[in-house]
Amino acid sequence: MSLENTISEAIKTAMREKDRIALDSLRAVKSQILLLQTEARGAEVSAEQEIAILQRMIKQRKDSAEQFTAQGRQDLAEVEEAQMKVIEKFLPKQLSAEELETEIKNIISETGAESIKDLGKVMGAASKALAGKSDGKSISEMAKKLLS
């Protein structure tokens, strides 16, 4: 089942349960998917594009929550964090720190990277291999740690 169909079913469930936060979050995800389909002139949205949409939406909500917290608006930050948790349910299982380290070590050995100068090469391969399983910031930090 595609992400769009899964989201549609989750929207129906959220409506039945009168879960306002989940409903708003899911409608936002569906909106982004439909927007991407419109831009692609009806072409099918790939799984990688769907994962990218979800990651972007989670990052937006995380940034918003941090800004609201910094401004003393904990009520708004809590809404953003709750929406983030709803959206995260549709991402593939995220790698733990140990799993991420193992994966990046493998990528470093495959690419033949030896120093921090090879970070770009490692990041390119890691971003493709670990898409959806970890965010770019975590990948970057781990790669820098292992290369230095």
What is the band of 127 on the pLDDT scale with cuts at 50, 70, 90? Answer: confident
pTM to 2 decimals? 0.73
For the chain, domain boundaries: 3-89, 97-147
Is residue 144 over pLDDT 60? yes
For position 107, what pLDDT does the model report? 85
How far is it, in rounded angstroms, from Cα 53 to Cα 30?
Answer: 10
The class (CATH top level) of 3-89 is: mainly alpha
The class (CATH top level) of 97-147 is: mainly alpha
Which residue's entry shows tokens 């959220």? 14
Q: What Rg do the C-alpha atoms of the chain give, in angstroms? A: 18
Amino acid of residue 63:
D
Burial class of residue 104 in the structure, from the number of CB atoms within 10 Å of its CB (0-12 exposed, 13-18 middle, 19+ buried): buried
How far is it, in rounded angstroms, from Cα 29 to Cα 102?
Answer: 32
How many Cβ atoms are within 10 Å of 63's Cβ, its own excluded? 11
Q: What pLDDT, in 10s, does the model give residues 29-68? A: 999 988 888 887 767 778 778 888 888 999 999 999 999 9
